């Protein structure tokens, strides 16, 4: 070892091979040597540690000026070992050593109780009280009012959450989920969840459904299915036809309609048989002549009808008069073909929806008899003759807009369509309403009667049409195929074709015998508002659109 080396916390001293100093060196077991010097009997040195080959008497001498209590080094077999000299306390005090500093006690935990005791005893002075008050106001010291945080309850809540999560995973493992991806998507849609997520595959989707069912339960899916079935049933019930119990006069009217329509049907069938006996060449030539005349069809005359748009027009049975309805509330009669104004019918105060001639007007009826009927948006229905410009009668009973009005071929009954989802049949001889028929889910817009007088067809804003048997009151055909509202319906004189015009810009032709649509005419670029067959033989169809 070199001279002048030092050990942290020790007094520097000279190190070297020592010499024997008279004294007593006692070896007490392995690794322990006790040395007593006669010159300093009050000191004793105890050497401890791993002493290998230590021989008594080989001691390092302290350096000059070393104070008592310095480190003595014993160096047997070139190994420096620490030899501590521990002088008595009295001696250390005499030599001027500073007493050890008294350390302040360290408290662990809350000082709240101590602070309460100190405040209760009044040990703190005025300054301490002011400082305490300032600290409390600043929030640096918080003396509670006895409220404690129950750690055990908090741990129990956490444990409950963990247990609930384990139970949920256990339930999820027991839930069987279909491997059909489309069925999994249907289940997710029924639960109100997105059917797919970004980057999600079929396996992840099945797992997501399983986790959702583990939370809401499998009964939730059954409940949604029951709700869907219930809603489907309600929709089916909503689309069902409802029949009202009518008065005794309705039964009388149905019998009268049966007696009226059966002879006309027989006559029509007889005419159809006669037409069938005509040679095919003759029928082809007649059809070609008809096509040629239709190609040469031109505008015969034109006239300004009113300041507001015209909503409806109808020819008289003898084709010598034309009735027009206007949004101004006026109805006008024009002579044909010179288009001169004959009468201005004043009685409506709002938009007039339609005006139609009686089937026998200008043919067998007197001018004083009821020859026309009109309806308006305020629910009013008025009857007119050909002499007066004022209505001769009003039909009351509608609370909402009446879109169309139409005479039965017999002239005894009048049909009206209303926005209250129903249509009505009025007996003008009995002067009462005999039928109030519902069946559409939205307002009924147009109505038409079969040439025999046995059937009535209605078109509604629900995009459906219905064909009714007036003799029994049953809906015998449901016209389903249009995508938007039906604004026009008409029967062909042949007795088995029906045409409908819709807001989907198409006109459809239906066959009552086959009970289906046989042709769709996509001829217009806007909604079709009116359809009419040629009234004598039904050889052509006229459609009108916006």
> Quick check: 390 pLDDT over 80?
yes
CB 73 within 8 A of CB 83: yes
Helices 202-216 and 181-190, packing angle to 10 deg? 40
Top-ranked range on mean pLDDT: pick from 109-113, 232-236, 320-324, 534-538: 320-324
Closest CA to 457 of 445, 471, 447, 444: 447
Residues with Cβ < 8 Å from 91, sequence gap 6 or more? Answer: 42, 68
How far is it, in rounded angstroms, from Cα 317 to Cα 334? 14
Here the tokens at position 377 are 């948006």
Cis, peptide link before residue 337, omega less than 30° from 0: yes
What's the chain's average pLDDT? Answer: 78
How far is it, in rounded angstroms, from Cα 337 to Cα 302? 10
Q: Report pLDDT digits (tens) over 231-269.
A: 766 666 555 656 667 788 899 999 999 999 999 999 999
Residues with Cβ < 8 Å from 304, sequence gap 6 or more? Answer: none
CB neighbours of residue 37 within 10 Å = 18
Closest CA to 444 of 411, 475, 415: 415
Residues with Cβ < 8 Å from 281, sequence gap 6 or more? Answer: none
Q: Report pLDDT digits (tens) over 296-314.
A: 888 888 889 999 999 999 9
| pLDDT number for residue 69 | 42
Is the backbone of residue 223 left (phi > 0), alpha (psi -120 to 50) or beta?
alpha
Task: Please report, rounded to a whole number, the percentage of residues in the chain having pLDDT higher than 70.
Answer: 72
Residues with Cβ < 8 Å from 34, sequence gap 6 or more? Answer: 25, 26, 27, 28, 44, 45, 46, 47
How far is it, in rounded angstroms, from Cα 521 to Cα 528? 11
Length of the chain: 546
Q: What angle (nearest 5°) sits at the alpha carbon of residue 353, between those of residues 347 and 358?
A: 75
Cα dihedral value 397, 353, 357, 381, nearest 10: 20
Domain 309-545: CATH architecture, name and number where available: 7 Propeller (2.130)
| pLDDT number for residue 53 | 42
CB neighbours of residue 58 within 10 Å = 15
| pLDDT number for residue 239 | 58
Q: How far is CA 196 from the centre of its chain?
A: 16
Query: 116 or 431, which is more confident?
Result: 431
CB 345 within 8 A of CB 391: yes
Give the pairing of strands 393-395 and 486-491: unpaired
Mean pLDDT score, 58-87: 41
CB 290 within 8 A of CB 296: no
CB 498 within 8 A of CB 479: yes
Query: 456 or 153, which is more confident?
Result: 456
Helices (H), 362-445: none
> Quick check: 359 pLDDT over 70?
yes
Question: 87-105: buried (b, 16+ CB within 10 Å) or exposed (e) per residue?
Answer: beeeebeeeeeeeeeeeee
Cα dihedral value 532, 534, 540, 542, nearest 10: -30
| pLDDT number for residue 93 | 43
| pLDDT number for residue 172 | 84
> Quick check: 150 pLDDT over 50?
yes
Mean pLDDT score, 55-83: 41
How far is it, in rounded angstroms, from Cα 376 to Cα 327? 9
Residues with Cβ < 8 Å from 272, sequence gap 6 or more? Answer: 494, 495
Q: How confident is the model at residue 162 (pLDDT cuts 50, 70, 90)?
A: confident
Residues with Cβ < 8 Å from 537, sequence gap 6 or more? Answer: 493, 494
Closest CA to 467 of 477, 459, 480, 482: 477
Residues with Cβ < 8 Å from 167, sequence gap 6 or more? Answer: none
Mean pLDDT score, 1-17: 35
Domain limits of the chain? 182-192+200-229, 309-545
| pLDDT number for residue 4 | 39
Residues with Cβ < 8 Å from 275, sequence gap 6 or more? Answer: 283
First to last CA, the chain: 119
Q: How confident is the model at residue 191 (pLDDT cuts 50, 70, 90)?
A: confident
| pLDDT number for residue 380 | 94
pTM of the model: 0.58
**DSSP sequence for 320-336:** SEEEEEETTSEEEEEET
**DSSP sequence for 441-482:** SS-EEEEEE-TTSSEEEEEETTSEEEEEETTT--EEEEEE--
In sequence order, what are the beta bridge partners of 395?
A: 381
Q: Report pLDDT digits (tens) over 35-52.
A: 444 444 444 444 433 334
Is the backbone of residue 166 left (phi > 0), alpha (psi -120 to 50) or beta?
alpha
| pLDDT number for residue 241 | 58
Query: 24 or 242, which is more confident?
Result: 242
């Amino acid at each position: 070892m070199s001279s002048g080396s030092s050990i942290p916390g020790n007094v520097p001293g000279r190190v070297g091979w020592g010499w024997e100093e008279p004294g007593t060196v006692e070896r007490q077991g392995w690794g322990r040597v006790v040395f007593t010097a006669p010159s300093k009997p009050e000191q004793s040195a105890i050497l401890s540690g791993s002493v290998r080959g230590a021989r008594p008497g080989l001691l390092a001498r302290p350096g000059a000026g070393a104070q008592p209590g310095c480190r003595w080094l014993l160096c047997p077999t070139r190994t420096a070992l620490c030899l501590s000299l521990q002088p008595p306390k009295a001696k250390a005090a005499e030599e001027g050593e500073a007493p050890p500093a008294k350390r302040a006690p360290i408290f662990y935990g809350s000082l709240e109780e101590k602070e309460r005791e100190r405040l209760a005893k009044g040990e703190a002075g005025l300054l301490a009280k002011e400082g305490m008050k300032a600290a409390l106001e600043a929030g640096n010291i918080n003396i509670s009012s006895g409220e404690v945080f129950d750690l055990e309850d908090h741990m129990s809540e956490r444990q409950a959450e963990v247990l609930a999560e384990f139970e949920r995973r256990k339930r999820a493992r027991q839930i069987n989920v279909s491997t059909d991806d489309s069925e999994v998507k249907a289940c997710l849609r029924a639960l109100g969840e997105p059917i797919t997520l970004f980057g999600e595959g079929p396996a992840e989707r099945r797992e997501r459904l399983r986790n959702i069912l583990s939370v809401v339960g499998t009964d939730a899916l059954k409940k949604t299915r029951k709700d869907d079935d219930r809603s489907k049933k309600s929709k089916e019930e909503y689309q069902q036809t409802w029949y009202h119990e009518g008065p005794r006069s309705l039964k009388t009217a149905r019998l009268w309609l049966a007696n009226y329509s059966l002879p006309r049907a027989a006559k029509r069938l007889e005419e159809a048989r006669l037409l069938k006996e005509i040679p095919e060449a003759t029928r082809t030539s007649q059809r070609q002549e008809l096509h040629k005349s239709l190609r040469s069809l031109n505008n015969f005359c034109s006239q300004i009808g009113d300041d507001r748009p015209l909503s409806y027009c109808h020819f008289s049975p003898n084709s010598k008069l034309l009735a027009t309805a206007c949004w101004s509330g006026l109805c006008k009669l024009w002579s044909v073909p010179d288009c001169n104004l004959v009468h201005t019918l004043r009685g409506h105060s709002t938009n007039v929806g339609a005006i139609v001639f009686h089937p026998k007007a200008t043919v067998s009826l007197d001018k004083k008899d009821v020859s026309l009927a009109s309806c308006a948006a305020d629910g009013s229905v008025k009857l007119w003759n050909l002499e007066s410009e004022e209505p001769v009668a009003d039909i009351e009973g509608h609370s909402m807009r009446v879109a169309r009005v139409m005479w039965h071929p017999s002239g005894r009954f009048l049909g009206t369509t209303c926005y209250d989802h129903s249509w009505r049949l009025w007996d003008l001889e009995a002067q009462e309403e005999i039928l109030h028929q519902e069946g559409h889910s939205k307002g009924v817009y147009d109505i038409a009667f079969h040439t025999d007088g046995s059937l009535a067809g209605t078109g509604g804003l629900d995009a459906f049409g219905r064909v009714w048997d007036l003799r029994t009151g049953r809906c015998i055909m449901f016209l389903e195929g249009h995508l938007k509202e039906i604004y026009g319906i008409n029967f062909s004189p042949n007795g088995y074709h029906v045409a409908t015009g819709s807001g989907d810009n198409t006109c459809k032709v239906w066959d009552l015998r086959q009970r289906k649509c046989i042709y769709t005419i996509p001829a217009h670029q806007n909604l079709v508002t009116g359809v009419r067959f040629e009234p004598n033989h039904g050889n052509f169809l006229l459609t009108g659109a916006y």
